[in-house]
Amino acid sequence: MAACSVEKCQEKSFLKSRSIPFYDCPYSFPTTPATMPIDETWEQIKEEAQSDIVNEPILRNYYCDLILSRPSLESALAAHLASKLSIPDIIPRDTLERLLYDALTSDPELGCAVRADLCAVRDRDPACEKMVHCFLYYKGFLALQVHRVAHWLWTYRGRRAAALLLQSRSSEVFAVDIHPGARIGKGILLDHATGVVIGETAVIGNDVSMLHGVTLGGTGKEAGDRHPKVGDGVLIGAGANVLGNVTIGDGAKIGAGAVVLKPVPDGATAVGSPAKVLEGKKSSLPAVSMDHRF
């Protein structure tokens, strides 16, 4: 697969046309006509799903139900997340699926972010061989998409109770706790993701990568704007804690286990507890290279 950057995801108009042969699935939608606009990311996921079915027929019904029977990436994602988050007889799956689908299709920015996140995982995680695997199994990606819907409900629809419900269920199911108020950019990789905590007033830029156990939190009981502001292209290592309303500059690198209580300049590397900025150490796109050495 060719490199897929956030910029490429943002630039795609989905107006390029091509035809993809589909594996014979009883639930498959017909191949997109050559004259119709297509979603290249979604087409690739379907193509990868069919390749997996050929190599592992036991996956046939699973992939047909979750992917090949769905007309769009948004439809498939809403159904997949609803199946994870619903509680029988308490939070009906179909009701939750409709809520998720309405949000994902009401704001084009959400769809763009979903695709940019898929590209980020595929490009930066060497364990991710196919986007379809990220879409189905990677809880960091899935938790982030739940947050995107929760944030949309919290910020643009005033449905805070529904947003908090999604946050709670996502935390229980994926072990990732992101407050619906947090603002997160596109092209985000939450690698492994277990134990990630992001507070209400945190802001994360584009093309950011962070490992498991990262906390973007406050420092006490103060109200108001109390959480970190993370710039574009930042890499945050496993178990790092960034606390308070501090700024992490563009392209900065936070070492694993660091406790950051003060601002970190653009391109700088901060390590230790409490974290100190390493003199003369400047990073170059650390979130993309995923180079944790310093």
pLDDT higher than 50, residue 14:
no
Alpha carbons 26 and 252: distance in angstroms, whole number: 49
**154: number of Cβ within 10 Å:** 23
Q: Partners of 210 in the beta sheet?
A: 190, 236
- Burial class of residue 170 (count of CB atoms within 10 Å of its CB; 0-12, 13-18, 19+): buried
Instruction: For residue range 52-103, list pLDDT tens digits in order.
Output: 999 999 999 999 999 999 999 999 999 999 999 999 989 999 999 999 999 9
Instruction: For residue range 97-148, list pLDDT tens digits in order.
Output: 999 999 999 999 999 999 999 999 999 999 999 999 999 999 999 999 999 9
pLDDT value for 192:
96
| Reported pTM | 0.87
pLDDT higher than 50, residue 196:
yes
